[in-house]
Amino acid sequence: MHPWTGPTVSVIPGTGEVPLIRDDITGRLQPSVVGERADLYVCGITPYDSTHLGHAFTYLAFDLLVRAWRDLGVTVRYAQGLTDVDDPLLERARATGKDWWRLATSQAALYKSDMAALRVIPPDSYRGVVESVPQIVGAVERMIDAGQAYRVPVPDAGASSLGDVYADLGADPGFGSLTGLSPEAQDRLFAERGGDPDRPGKRQRLDPLLWRAARPDEPSWDGRTLGRGRPGWHIECAVIAAGELDQPIDVLGGGTDLIFPHHEMSVSHSRALTGLDQPVRLTMHTGMVHLDGQKMSKSVGNLVFVSDLLSRGVNPAALRLALISHHYRDDWEWRGREVAWAEARLARWREAIGSVKPQGHSGEAIAKIRAALAADLDTVSAIAAVDEWVSAAPLARDRSPYAAADLRRAVDALLGIKLY
């Protein structure tokens, strides 16, 4: 699936530092890449209610990581999935009387145009669940053969139904190691976030669905020995990541609401499919954007959309700057006035960088931006470094247009903000 057309990215002198990321589990800063190649998987959207500011905040964080890796000079391989068939999408289509596939494709198209407007570098591999069904079927078949998955009869489905397929978490001694949650917390979050702990016939309450046998009025695909049906949620990311990236992948990412069960389950499936104890080196999760005191979410319905803001004339560079003015791991409240502040900051940056006198350099400011981003993508300090240079600009006699050009290129390459 074609993602979107990416922005041109400026080249700046020198190279950046290895970005350190604070690992969710250990709480320690860890190198985000250890070799010449960096592999990143980020969970994509379920295409309805796209693209709200919570989505944008998440994908901008990983865009900053990709930019820092490129600046370091490593080869980046970035894969992103698209959950283009899933229960919430089908429910929304049903509730609004829309065809589910039209809803998915139109919302995916909107997401892509929003990402392009925000100058987000597209993933190298962008794969939908629907186009990945044959690979997912193969993976589930292998898990059944290996004794890592089992069938559960579907009530009232008749003798011809082969049943649903669930992963047997009892076969994975590593399950739970990603998040370290208590069994009580696991059970609660599983029930809250799409799981079915009380489904009769399962071996363990937390066992996740791998393949849902076809039901009336639901889309389904040929599942070969599984029978017709559609994939479960967590297996899709494990299969797409395994197919597109070197294992172990360096960073697995998404919003904090994906840590459990989605990423714990996905990594469990990846262990089953790859035979590796640790198929993921690091996880990176982004904070939640709130509105009126509550997390911005589809279920609550308190959403602010990128496309609405842009259609009201908001400058996409100002929106991008407003969003990355918050550290990626922080939860924060959207108040709306951030855009005006970002517009004012952009105006100051443009004016100062265009008005400086000959001779001098901006190397120190660029080094500060690089150092800030290498320290767990500290955009707050990176932006402060640009502010510092800009506020000194009218006073300095030793600043050249060349220095300004270098800084302009650095702001573009590292922060994704184009000042010209």
Q: List contacts with Zn ion (CB under 5 A).
A: 43, 237
Residue 411 to residue 362: CA distance in whole angstroms: 12
Look at residues 220, 167, 216 and name the one whose alpha carbon lies nearest to residue 195. 167
Q: How far is the CB of 356 from Zn ion (least distance, A)?
A: 46
CA–centroid distance for 353 within its chain: 33
The neighbouring-strand residues paired with 282 are 251
CB 4 to Zn ion: min, Å = 19
Q: How many CB atoms lie within 10 A of CB 81?
A: 28
Residues near 100 by beta carbon (within 8 Å), at least 6 away in sequence: 85, 89, 90, 93, 94, 219
Which residues make Cβ contacts (< 8 Å) with residue 340, sequence separation at least 6?
Answer: none
Minimum distance from residue 290 beta carbon to Zn ion (Å): 23
Plot region of 53 (φ>0 → left; ψ -120 to 50 → alpha; else → beta): alpha
Task: Considering the complex, state which of residue 9 and residue 45 has its C-beta at the smaller distance from Zn ion.
Answer: 45
Closest separation in Å from C-beta 69 to Zn ion: 21
Cβ proximity to Zn ion: between 237 and 352 the closer is: 237
Give the alpha-carbon dihedral of 63, 68, 72, 73, to 10 degrees: 20
Whole-angstrom distance, CA of residue 80 vs CA of residue 123? 6
Find how far residue 411's CA is from the centre of its chain.
22
Nearest approach in angstroms of CB 262 to Zn ion is 6
Specify the residue, 10 or 256, whose C-beta has the smaller distance to Zn ion. Answer: 256
Classify each residue of 318-333 as buried b or exposed e, where b means 16 or more C-beta atoms within 10 Å of its C-beta: bbbbbbbbbbbbeeee
* In the complex, least distance from residue 50 CB atom to Zn ion, rounded to whole angstroms: 15
Q: Within 13 Å, how many C-alpha atoms sit on residue 172's CB side?
A: 30
Question: Which residues contact residue 412 at a Cβ distance below 8 angstroms, ignoring those fewer than 6 apart?
Answer: 9, 10, 418, 419
CB nearer Zn ion, residue 141 or residue 257: 257
Output 127 or 202, the one with its CB closest to Zn ion.
Answer: 127
CB of 25 to Zn ion, least distance (A): 18
227 vs 254, which CB is nearer to Zn ion? 254
Residue closer to Zn ion by CB (options 237, 404) is: 237
CB of 384 to Zn ion, least distance (A): 33
> Is 21 or 237 the residue whose CB approaches Zn ion more closely?
237
